[in-house]
Structure 1
Amino acid sequence: MPITTRVATSSDVPEAAAVLAEAFADDPLMTAIWPDQRQRRNALPRYFTASLRHFHIPRGGVRVATGIDDTIAAVAVWDPPGQWETNLTTTIRALPDLLPALRTRATAAITIRRTLDQRHPHKPKHWYLVNIGTTRKSRGQGYAARLITERLTVETPTRAYLVCTHTDNVSYYNRFGFTVTESFALPTGERPTMWAMTFNM
């Protein structure tokens, strides 16, 4: 099946958010924010909509992969080098969209965000793979792999960073040249383990 990739625009936000919400429905990091499954699945479309619209789409690094019918099969949320940190003004503007998604889980989300930010390397500058997800029906067909490899091979040298949220995915990212630099636990709920991974080429 032919795979087409392109930069995501604001018009892609609803569809891209739906793809990510489906992909992260049972993700350990998202479960740490929203332990209740029903609450989590209701919140994720709103959360990803706000995140894409306010933080990531404007930075120009989000890419989508589509198949023959031109529907979005996978989404890679990349923040360009030097642009992964969010300023206060942007956060304030995003709050009206974020708070309805977070509701009573806002404190947990802030705690997790601080933990991730404290672990995030500042130098050297790098591409940050914030999220990557594929629809259930499109998994195993190479959509996510295309979005990763094209980013890692578009320029030389390339440096990239991600936080792997599931132990089964560590070996998946190893295939692309990412290596684990440390593991750490989130300070909420069942304290799920995360793996910080870097790519240097």
Structure 2
Amino acid sequence: MASTAPESAASFRVRGAAVAEIPAMAALLGQTFQTGDAVGDFMFPEDAQRAVRQPRMFAAMIRHRYLPEGGADVAVAADGRIVAVILWSRSWGRPHPVRKLRESLALLAAMRGRVVAGLAVEAAVARGKPRDRHLYAMYLGVDPDWYGAGAAHALVARLLHRADAEDVVVYGNCEKRLLPFYAEAIPDGRVTGSTTLGRGGPAFYFLHRAPQRPGTRPPG
């Protein structure tokens, strides 16, 4: 299938997500992490299970965690299609207990027997967190037809600008194959270490990026 990706960022715009867009966002993220992703494979080892459970997990997280905190941004094509999604959160503040309970119940229903694997991912994430206040970029997904169109970079740039405005660190993590992408998208970031998912699981790399002030950004 030929790519329908546009040649310029003028063909899409980035903005905060809306509740009505949860199904489309969950489907896109599910597609992104269905094949070739170490975290998705770790949490849902069976392909058929992953295809069903993972989008439901994303929907629960978006509805109960990321949207209420303003931590869901999308790139939207001219025809209204969502072509990229980023989910992020602030390290400070705590969700209301009722909302946290609703999220936990929704995730339990979505993940079922894979909840323990999900907790292992959260434990791996916690090992690389900065001590300072930070924005944590958890998931970034792009429609395959839009690879190379700049949508993912635009969403990352939006998050970096927010972090600079709030004068906080950006924290993210990824598997080894994605390090070149993040080196390009976050040229002023650095890899601070790595861990594994579970016992003998895939490697997981930590990335930190300090807030940038006017005149301190690298050229380009």
Aligned-residue Cα RMSD (Å) equals 1.9
Q: 1:18 to 1:10 in 2, by over 3 A?
A: same
Kept in 2, the 8 Å contact 1:19–1:135? The answer is yes
Instruction: State the structure with more CA Rg.
Output: 2
Which runs of no fewer than 5 residues in structure 2 stay unpaired? 1-7, 213-220
Write the distance in 1 (CA, Å) between the matches of 2:45 and 2:59: 20
- TM-score by length of structure 2 reads 0.82
Shift of 1:76: 0.9
Q: How many residues align?
A: 197
Instruction: Tell me the residue number matched to 2:88.
Output: 78
Instruction: Tell me the residue number matched to 1:119.
Output: 128
- TM-score by length of structure 1 reads 0.89
Q: Which string of whole-angstrom CA distances, capped at 9 and with x for unpartnered residues, describes residues 115-144 of structure 1? A: 3224322x3111111111101111111000
Q: Could you list the runs of 4 or more consecutive aligned residues of structure 1 that deviate by over 4 angstroms after TM superposition?
A: 85-89
Q: Secondary structure at the match of 1:124?
A: coil
Write the distance in 1 (CA, Å) between the matches of 2:100 and 2:91: 19
What amino acid maps onto 1:120 in structure 2? K
Instruction: Tell me the residue number matched to 2:208.
Output: 198
Q: Describe how 1:2-81 pairs up with structure 2 within 5 A.
A: 2=10, 3-26=12-35, 27-81=37-91
Kept in 2, the 8 Å contact 1:24–1:30? The answer is yes
Kept in 2, the 8 Å contact 1:152–1:158? The answer is no
Q: 1:92 to 1:13 in 2, by over 3 A?
A: same
Instruction: Kindly indicate whether residue 194 of structure 2 is the aligned counterpart of residue 183 of structure 1.
Output: yes
Which runs of no fewer than 5 residues in structure 1 stay unpaired? none
Write the distance in 2 (CA, Å) between the matches of 1:95 and 1:33: 16
From 121, 136, 145, give the equivalent of 2:144: 136
Instruction: Kindly indicate whether residue 159 of structure 2 is the aligned counterpart of residue 148 of structure 1.
Output: no
Kept in 2, the 8 Å contact 1:17–1:48? The answer is yes
Write the distance in 2 (CA, Å) between the matches of 1:107 and 1:76: 24
From 158, 183, 193, give the equivalent of 1:174: 183
Write the distance in 1 (CA, Å) between the matches of 2:95 and 2:39: 19
Instruction: Tell me the residue number matched to 2:107.
Output: 98
Q: Secondary structure at the match of 1:94?
A: helix
Write the distance in 2 (CA, Å) between the matches of 1:111 and 1:59: 23
